[in-house]
Chain A
């Protein structure tokens, strides 16, 4: 690994655009994490001594603040160690507590794999999983959801903001479609990529379950949150020593939670217009300089303020990632080659991209830590990198057309 890193050599600047896969955290979140580790939150919050109570206090304050940001109650919040765990708890935990006899789960074709995989796991227990298709920009087709929501439906899980293509669903409308049909059908939404990017009002939204992730709001890794509306029945899916909360046993990661809530606060106060400007500077800059590209996901307000996802035809995404890495730019791709299962992104295929378009995709997320100079640096290097890789290829534009 050392050799690989040394081979990169000197670059003019480094621009980290891969917060989809984790990344930097707010300095104030790091400060809170350190403070909790050294002073206020190092003990186990379930234990009855002063140090434990101090930890519990940190946990409780975090829940109060999350309740304010999300419009929920502290008792409705269960901490996990990430959104993958929160999504698993939502789906497997509600199925475990399911006494309705209904066995149909509805989700969408572009959900995060931490939603799709646990749902599919339940097929072993007699559940049926229906994936609602999306249109070419990634919007869930409302009428299809209405058609599929029936007397057998037990749970609907549709994410608020897609992690790959940034499409912002009209969640309020989708929840209404389901709840109008039958208010007892559970509605879960993965909000890992929505938190901090849009106003969230869980009570008004009328969802039953919602998942959140710390590192997606530039908080510490190792903290997640599941909102469980009061009155919704859930069973734990892992078992062990009882902690201060019922649904996710094990020692709470108090320092990470302290950093998580600080990051969520910072995101809450953040100027989203600034992010949108950086996003569009990046999209427009690429669009005007590079030919044969496709923007994945919608433009404008239907797109998360931080998401840029573009397919470069005749370029393989993993090669592009390595090429950009040499230039100090770090991003990711929906190419098969970047995944261990060698399958291209299911999200890109679901919005109708061809395999070669999915392989050539580049996912970049602008963050509060970037400025215009960073984006302009990226805009200088992407056209060069793409041109170099295209020059290596046996397929030239005119041959394909």
Chain B
């Protein structure tokens, strides 16, 4: 089980696309935590009429795979509708990156978790569309679990 990155991961790590905050973002979310060493912030500028994502960006605290996964995902969601963006899977992110090593799959899952959290946030206080599941999806749960687990572990070691 090699801990090997594809050249694409390294490229995006070195020159990340869509880095930083979007000033007029109307959907954003953070997933992960400092304690788990794995954290992604997603910023989206959504067209309120078409529900198309016009711009997307990220910030990341994490390993090279985490940075690359967040960056490639912001590329993937641009010009897609929120519904289309919702359907992006961590596996697609991994494929776009030329394949993540097994121990780094969770970076893709966390990126999806952050994206879906941002999409849910966008619909907060609005009428949610039918395609938006009421229950949290496994990827969103993963982010929550990671955050909770680290909270517990951090308390334990104190």
| B10 and A322 contact, CB distance less than 8 A | yes
Q: How far is the CB of A387 from chain B (nearest CB, A)?
A: 14
Q: Which 8 A-B pairs have the closest CB atoms?
A: A359-B37, A3-B7, A394-B41, A394-B59, A318-B63, A337-B63, A355-B35, A393-B61
Chain B contacts for A294, CB-based, 8 A: none
| B6 and A3 contact, CB distance less than 8 A | yes
| B62 and A316 contact, CB distance less than 8 A | yes
Contact mask for chain B residues 1-41; partner A; CB cutoff 8 A; 1 contact, 0 none: 10111110011011010010000000000100011111111
| B157 and A340 contact, CB distance less than 8 A | no
8 Å CB interface, A323-358 against B: 323, 326, 335-337, 340, 342, 344, 349, 354-356
Contact mask for chain A residues 279-317; partner B; CB cutoff 8 A; 1 contact, 0 none: 000000000000000000000000000000000001111
Say whether A395 faces chain B, with CB atoms less than 8 Å apart. yes
8 Å CB contact of B64 from A318, A359, A393? A318
Tell me whether A356 and B35 are in contact in the complex, defined as CB-CB below 8 angstroms, given that A4-B4, A337-B63, A394-B61 are known contacts: yes
**Between-chain CB contacts (< 8 Å), 16 pairs:** A7-B11, A316-B38, A316-B62, A316-B66, A319-B64, A319-B67, A322-B13, A322-B63, A323-B13, A335-B63, A337-B66, A342-B103, A349-B157, A392-B59, A394-B40, A395-B39
8 Å CB contact of A394 from B7, B39, B157? B39
Report how many residues on chain A are interfacial, defined by Cβ distance under 8 Å.
31
Contact mask for chain B residues 97-123; partner A; CB cutoff 8 A; 1 contact, 0 none: 000000100100000000000000000
Report how many residues on chain B are interfacial, defined by Cβ distance under 8 Å.
35
Say whether A11 faces chain B, with CB atoms less than 8 Å apart. no
| A392 and B34 contact, CB distance less than 8 A | no
Binding site for B on A (CB under 8 A): 1, 3-4, 6-7, 314-319, 322-323, 326, 335-337, 340, 342, 344, 349, 354-356, 359-360, 392-395, 400
Residue of A nearest to B19 (CB): A392
Say whether B132 faces chain A, with CB atoms less than 8 Å apart. no
